[in-house]
């Protein structure tokens, strides 16, 4: 086996002595041969099974010839939009075009189309009308059945239909893609590959499809948002590989069939995936353009796990990676870390050891290993399940081994700590070692909000849990003689958040003395509970109505309240406080968020109640604005 980048040109194929590829992988990202990139994992895994894989990265979708640079593959095309949904990659939550694409040479924007998976597949179909096309990656995975598309504000069909692809390999894909490849290699027609877990296919005949649950038709869901919410929740409850049923979604005379999810990888399989012969960098042809920015964050990081039983409502991990934790062995991670220390630009710092949630190192309970995650219950919400095994012993041992590797100065944890899981562990040894060894001045955590009404819609613990964590974190740092801080991630305009809750969040930040530089407005990405709430106005778990801030101006007000100290936000904050009936927060008291407009800098008697519509009191000892300002803690 040649240890080199996979072919991207005919000349590369010739150097390997290939006349054709078995598979041609078309991706919306630049070609980065690193295990943090799905293209690299799938292509290297197929290579390890004896298949010849070529890469077409970011083809010119306006030029049909760009799709044929490697010729027709023997078995089929693999297509992915890349590591991100192409619409999330292109647009901010306000639907403004982003200026940079971190997965493109030099960060240049515009090298992939909107809805990239669909565009690439239709481009292939024009040239290779009968060649099998298998789509995968996050974009295909989360759009595998009918879904709300925020950017067009429409309920869209399964991406399988609009792309003209034959199959979807959904989820992480290692199991299903090898089974698909083996079936094609055995001469089975792609139309007959209907039996593989972790795949979605289309058919006009259900006579050979068994043990399935029929979903509402696409037309029914388009006409009734409640019907869509009910259908979505059926999908959500069937994302487990052990208990998930086969789902059928009708489209006129055609059906889209989702097979149950593929089984999670064993530790041995995970180790194998991450031990494949990656070049661990972007293709050298990108060097002149400035390289691929996305590699910087992951080059010296370690992926230790997959899956997340946190199941936050706004997160798509349940649909994509699932709730069952899959982990690599200590030996696998130590070997990779040792490999990192040999890189010429390694400075002694491992930037991260984690995954979706860093401190999950095994399934939530023993039952999940054989029966899967509970379909209608969550492990941590609203309270930790009584069967939850909250134990950081294994993770602590792993971190200790990594710290002891020669040339390693510091091992950071940046993936995110699930603080309610940390508190559920009766031991505080992990909190101690986290503060002592794995924080660089500040720890980023994600309470997301402080209003319990909003947190319940987010699937997050009550604010009292976060407050307990803050208290324990601060005490631990004091005990260790360290000055380290918490940086909370906060989200505005999530379903359930009215101006009342937004003001509550602003008051919390005022009392904290913290003003975030950036604010994450809720982003309705495909196939999350929160996105379903955004579109339907219903919580699919209970079918109760949910207040949803959809008006762009109200969303701007909620976002401005989080950054109320920014002078540019004054008008929005003032308007929000008036609409929320909280003009008591406009004034000169230390509890106020903003001051009355037009009074700053004018000497004279100013009442602290001014801003509530009350007149100034006269006859009392006058104070200048300057003197008042000295007493106000900004």
Give the Cβ contact number of residue 366 at 10 Å.
11
For 342, the enclosing helix (H) or strand (E) is none
Q: What is the mean pLDDT of residues 286-294?
A: 97
Contact 65, 138 (CB under 8 A): no
Write out the E strands in 428-500: 442-448, 485-492
Give CA–CA dist 112/156, Å, rounded. Answer: 21
Indicate whether 610 pLDDT > 70: no
| Predicted confidence (pLDDT) at residue 603 exceeds the cutoff of 80 | no
Q: Which of 149-163, 260-274, 350-364, 605-619 has the lowest mean pLDDT?
A: 605-619
Rounded to an integer, the average pLDDT of 219-239 is 97
The three-class DSSP label of residue 248 is strand
Rounded Cα gap, residues 340 and 343, in angstroms: 5
pLDDT higher than 70, residue 618:
no
pLDDT band, residue 376 (cuts 50/70/90): confident
Supply the DSSP string of 478-531, one letter for each residue.
Answer: HHHT---EEEEEEEES-TT--HHHHHHHHHHHHHHT---S--EE----TT-HHH
Taking the mean position of all CA atoms in its chain, how far away is CA 384? 23
The alpha carbon of residue 257 and the mean position of all alpha carbons in its chain are separated, in whole angstroms, by 25
What per-residue confidence (pLDDT) applies to 611? 37
pLDDT of 633 reads: 36
| Interval 415-444 mean pLDDT | 95
Average pLDDT over residues 163-168: 98
- The pairing of beta strand 254-258 with beta strand 281-282: unpaired
CA distance linking residue 171 with residue 262, whole number of Å = 8
Query: Among residues of the chain, what percentage have pLDDT more than 70?
Result: 94
Task: Say whether pLDDT at 558 is over 80.
Answer: yes
Q: What is the mean pLDDT of residues 487-513?
A: 95
Say if residues 38 and 80 touch (Cβ distance below 8 Å). Answer: yes
Question: DSSP class of residue 66?
Answer: G
**Do 177 and 226 contact (CB within 8 A), yes or no?**
no
Q: Give the three-state DSSP class for 22.
A: coil
Task: State how far the alpha carbon of 171 is from the alpha carbons of 254, 362, 518, in Å.
Answer: 24, 19, 31
The answer to whether residue 353 scores a pLDDT higher than 80 is yes
pTM comes to 0.92
Q: Is the pLDDT of residue 631 over 70?
A: no
Q: Return d(Cα 54, Cα 57) in angstroms, integer.
A: 10
Q: Please determine, for residue 79, whether its predicted confidence score (pLDDT) is greater than 60.
A: yes
List the domains of the chain with CATH numbers.
10-196 (3.40.50.2300), 300-415 (3.30.750), 441-585 (3.30.750.200)
Residues 502-531 have a mean pLDDT of 93
Q: What does the chain come to in residues?
A: 634
Distance CA 634, CA 632 (A): 6
| Rounded (10°) angle between helices 499-512 and 552-562 | 20
Peptide bond into 313 cis (omega under 30): no
Q: What torsion, rounded to 10 degrees, do the Cα atoms 194, 195, 197, 202 define? A: 10
DSSP letter, residue 356: S
pLDDT-derived band at 1 (thresholds 50, 70, 90) equals low
| pLDDT tens per residue, range 103-134 | 999 999 999 999 999 999 999 999 999 999 99
pLDDT recorded at residue 375: 87
Q: What percent of the chain has pLDDT over 90?
A: 90
Residue-level pLDDT at 3: 87
What is the rounded CA–CA span in Å between residue 31 and residue 45? 16
The CA distance from 380 to 369, in Å, is 18
Collapse the DSSP code of 134 into the 3-class scheme (helix H, G, I; strand E, B; otherwise coil) and give the result.
strand
What contacts 217, CB < 8 A, 6 or more positions away? Answer: 249, 250, 251
Q: In the prediction, which pLDDT does 493 show?
A: 97
Rg, C-alpha atoms of the chain: 27
| CA distance linking residue 481 with residue 487, whole number of Å | 19
SS3 97: strand
pLDDT at 64: 93
Instruction: Name the burial class of residue 405, with classes exposed (0-12), middle (13-18) and buried (19+) by CB atoms within 10 angstroms of its CB.
Output: middle
SS (H, E, C) 368-433: HHHHCCCCCCCCCCCCCCCCCCCCCHHHHHHHHHHHCCCCCCEECCCCCCCHHHHHHCCCCHHHHH
Q: Buried (b) or exposed (e) across 147-180, using 16+ Cβ within 10 A?
A: bbbbeeeebbbbbbbebbbbbbbbbbbbbbbbbb
pLDDT beyond 80 at 598: no
The Cα-based distances of 310 to 317, 324, 382, 420 in angstroms read 9, 10, 11, 10
Nearest-angstrom CA–CA distance, 91 and 87 = 6
Helix (H) or strand (E) holding 171: none
- d(C-alpha 94, C-alpha 320), whole Å: 25
Q: How confident is the model at residue 616 (pLDDT cuts 50, 70, 90)?
A: very low
Calpha distance 100→508 (Å, rounded): 33
Cα dihedral across residues 193, 84, 220, 154: positive or negative: negative
Q: Is the pLDDT of residue 528 over 70?
A: yes
């Amino acid at each position: 086996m040649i240890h080199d980048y996979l072919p991207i040109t005919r000349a590369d194929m010739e150097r390997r002595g290939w006349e054709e590829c078995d598979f041609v992988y078309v991706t919306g990202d630049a070609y980065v041969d690193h295990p943090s990139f799905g293209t690299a994992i799938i292509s290297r895994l197929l290579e390890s099974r004896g298949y010849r894989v070529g890469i077409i990265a970011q083809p010119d979708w306006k030029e049909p010839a760009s799709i044929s640079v490697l010729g027709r593959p023997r078995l089929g095309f693999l297509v992915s939009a890349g590591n991100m949904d192409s619409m999330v990659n292109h647009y901010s939550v306000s639907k403004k075009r982003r200026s940079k694409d971190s997965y493109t040479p030099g960060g240049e924007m515009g090298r992939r189309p909107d809805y990239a998976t669909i565009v690439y597949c239709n481009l292939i179909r024009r040239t290779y009308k009968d060649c099998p096309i298998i789509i995968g990656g996050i974009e295909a995975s989360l759009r595998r059945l009918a879904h709300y598309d925020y950017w067009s504000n429409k309920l869209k069909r399964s991406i399988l239909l609009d792309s003209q692809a034959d199959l979807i390999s959904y989820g992480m894909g290692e199991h299903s893609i090898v089974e698909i490849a083996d079936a094609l290699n055995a001469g089975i027609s792609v139309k007959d590959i209907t039996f593989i877990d972790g795949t979605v296919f289309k058919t006009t005949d259900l006579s050979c499809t068994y043990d399935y649950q029929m979903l509402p038709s696409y037309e029914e869901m388009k006409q009734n948002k409640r019907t869509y919410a009910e259908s979505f929740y059926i999908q959500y409850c069937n994302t487990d590989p052990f208990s998930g049923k086969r789902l059928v979604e009708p489209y006129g005379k055609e059906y889209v069939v989702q097979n149950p999810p593929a089984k999670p990888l064993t530790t041995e399989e995970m180790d194998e995936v991450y031990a494949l012969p990656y070049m661990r960098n972007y293709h050298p042809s990108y060097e002149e353009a400035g390289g691929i920015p996305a590699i910087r964050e992951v080059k010296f990081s370690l992926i230790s796990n997959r899956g997340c039983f946190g199941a936050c409502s706004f997160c798509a991990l349940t649909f994509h990676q699932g709730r069952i934790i899959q982990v690599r062995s200590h030996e696998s991670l130590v070997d990779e870390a040792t490999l990192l220390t040999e890189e010429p630009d390694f400075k002694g710092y491992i930037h991260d050891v984690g995954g979706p949630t860093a401190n999950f190192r095994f399934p939530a309970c023993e039952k999940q290993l054989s029966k899967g995650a509970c379909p209608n219950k969550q492990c941590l919400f609203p309270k930790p399940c009584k069967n939850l095994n909250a134990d950081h012993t294994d993770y602590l041992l792993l971190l200790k081994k990594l710290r002891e590797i020669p040339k390693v100065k510091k091992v950071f944890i940046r993936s995110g700590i699930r603080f309610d899981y940390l508190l559920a562990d009766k031991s505080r040894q992990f909190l101690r070692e986290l503060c002592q060894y794995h924080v660089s001045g500040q720890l980023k955590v994600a309470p997301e909000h402080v209003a319990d009404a909003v947190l319940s819609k987010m699937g997050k613990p009550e604010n009292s849990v976060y407050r307990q964590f803050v208290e324990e974190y601060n005490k631990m740092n004091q005990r260790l003689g360290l000055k380290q801080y918490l940086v909370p991630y906060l989200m505005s305009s999530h379903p359930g958040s009215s101006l009342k809750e937004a003001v509550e969040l602003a008051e919390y930040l005022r009392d904290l003395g913290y003003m975030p530089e950036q604010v994450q407005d809720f982003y309705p990405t495909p196939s999350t509970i929160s996105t379903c709430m955004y579109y339907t106005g219903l919580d699919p778990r209970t079918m109760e109505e949910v207040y949803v801030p959809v008006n762009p101006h109200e969303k701007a007000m909620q976002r401005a309240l989080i950054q109320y100290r920014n002078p540019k936000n004054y008008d929005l904050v003032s308007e929000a406080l008036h609409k929320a009936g909280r003009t008591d927060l406009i004034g000169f008291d230390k509890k106020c968020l903003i001051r009355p407009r037009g009074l700053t800098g004018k000497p004279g008697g100013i009442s602290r109640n001014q801003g509530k519509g009350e007149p100034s009191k006269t006859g009392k000892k006058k104070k200048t604005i300057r003197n008042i300002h000295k007493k106000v803690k900004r």
